Structure 1
């Protein structure tokens, strides 16, 4: 075989290498093109996801099941709403809960005026009913008015039956209570320290208790509700003056009327 023919055979047998190289080049270009296209689509997809999350949550880069190139913030639970109270608000509320000083003062003035009117009314009626020195009307204090009536004027010595001429005075108390339904009355009986011992009154305590109870019964028959009154005997336990003198013992023998306003429950 000539050298020329041998060279032609070698050239024909190696031709496939060029074809293979061209094919590899085309494949490489094809894969590069696919890679570039996929990168562009991923960026566009990521942008679309961010826009959607921002529109829905108002926070850019919200959590997503698709891994993005940045770290998405973790969405925490919404905290409970806490009402903020400013110091000025607390002070205003406290002041609102307190009664108005001017209003409270006006109420106190009105109450004092009512007690003054009641005291003057009782005093005028007692001046007509009994002797001036038989009744001592105190000054209203702590919502109470105390009226002391001498026991010797109301009752004979050692007796629980009050004198008929003193019924006018008790009737005055009845009319006053009926006129003022918001008042309640406590009737307290007191004696001196001279002991008494009779079949009906074994002690001064019994005498003072029965005297107060008899007055209560009389006033109840006059139309005063029984639940507005109470009767108590103290005997010699609460003297006003010393029992060492005649004048002191006379002052200690007394019937005490305590008037006070009924409190609304």
Structure 2
């Protein structure tokens, strides 16, 4: 009987597929490893902290590791073109401000009397001169007194490089005579007279422009004598080479002129 039992045990066939059990365990562990790696690579801060705490408790209780900073910093991208333009605008504005201050100083007596206004705006620097300072009523010839003030302005503009636009304005009272059929001709001739004086004083003619607006751009109501006197004016604008969209800054406030 003993021989028969041993023969049965010895005759039991050998299992050649036992390696599949170890292989299946290895594949399972490998899958779990890749799942963990994927969870970490997804950079979920909440999951990372939970996983880190679990690892810390399992391997010595050192606590969770510092979270990884996954935020992309919005660093400014350098723009050489924009930086250069900003610097040019700054220098141009400084130059125009200095010119406005020089004009204000030169025309200080007339500014104090309220007959001249100097302003700096997005177009450049504007010198607004009441017509009573420059011309006799209904005339476009410069008076002897006005030439001295305009010569001083021309001296500042002569060595400057900016374009100059001279604009003539009138009130809304119609004019009709042998010389001026309307306020268009009167305002244009007055602007031309100022331009001619500037050219004679040395300002290059290619920088000059003369424009007549008649009564289309009033700065005061035409219903009163004071308002009409304010509207009869000549504006000399030194145009900025690099316009800067800034609000107008009055360099000097002046009361409306009352002389016709």
Fold shared per TM-score above 0.5: yes
Quote the Cα distance in structure 1 between the aligned partners of 2:78 and 2:111: 51
CA contact (8 A) 1:126 1:132 kept: no
**Unaligned stretches of 5+ residues in structure 1:** 1-91
CA distances 1:1-26 after superposition (whole Å, capped 9, x unpaired): xxxxxxxxxxxxxxxxxxxxxxxxxx
With over 3 angstroms needed to count, the CA separation of the structure-2 counterparts of 1:167 and 1:150, relative to structure 1, is same
Match of 1:194 in 2: 173
**Deviation of 1:131 (Å):** 5.7
CA contact (8 A) 2:116 2:130 kept: yes
Equivalent in 88, 102, 106 of residue 121 of structure 1: 102
Q: Does 1:237 align with 2:216?
A: yes
Q: What TM-score, normalized by structure 1, do the two folds share?
A: 0.58
Quote the Cα distance in structure 2 between the aligned partners of 1:112 and 1:244: 38
CA distances 1:55-105 after superposition (whole Å, capped 9, x unpaired): xxxxxxxxxxxxxxxxxxxxxxxxxxxxxxxxxxxxx9x94555354x554
Report the secondary structure of 2:213's partner residue: strand
Quote the Cα distance in structure 2 between the aligned partners of 1:131 and 1:109: 30
**Unaligned stretches of 5+ residues in structure 2:** 1-74, 243-260
With over 3 angstroms needed to count, the CA separation of the structure-2 counterparts of 1:201 and 1:131, relative to structure 1, is farther
Quote the Cα distance in structure 2 between the aligned partners of 1:241 and 1:203: 20
Match of 2:186 in 1: 207
With over 3 angstroms needed to count, the CA separation of the structure-2 counterparts of 1:257 and 1:219, relative to structure 1, is same
Match of 2:130 in 1: 150
Equivalent in 120, 129, 133 of residue 114 of structure 2: 133
**Deviation of 1:142 (Å):** 1.9
Equivalent in 198, 201, 223 of residue 219 of structure 1: 198
Quote the Cα distance in structure 1 between the aligned partners of 2:223 and 2:198: 34
CA distances 1:36-68 after superposition (whole Å, capped 9, x unpaired): xxxxxxxxxxxxxxxxxxxxxxxxxxxxxxxxx
Q: What TM-score, normalized by structure 2, do the two folds share?
A: 0.59
Which one has more relative contact order, counting CA pairs under 8 Å at least 6 apart?
A: 2
**Deviation of 1:132 (Å):** 3.8
- Between stretches 125-134 and 171-180, larger displacement belongs to 125-134
**Deviation of 1:111 (Å):** 2.5
Quote the Cα distance in structure 2 between the aligned partners of 1:121 and 1:220: 20
Report the secondary structure of 1:258's partner residue: strand
**Deviation of 1:262 (Å):** 4.3
CA distances 1:190-243 after superposition (whole Å, capped 9, x unpaired): 000111111001111111111111111121111111110010111111111111
Number of aligned pairs?
169
Q: Does 1:228 align with 2:207?
A: yes
**Deviation of 1:257 (Å):** 0.6
CA contact (8 A) 1:216 1:230 kept: yes
CA distances 1:133-169 after superposition (whole Å, capped 9, x unpaired): 211011x222411111001111110111111111111
Quote the Cα distance in structure 1 between the aligned partners of 2:178 and 2:145: 27
**Deviation of 1:261 (Å):** 3.3
Quote the Cα distance in structure 1 between the aligned partners of 2:190 and 2:85: 41
When Rg is computed on C-alpha atoms for both structures, the one with the higher figure is 1
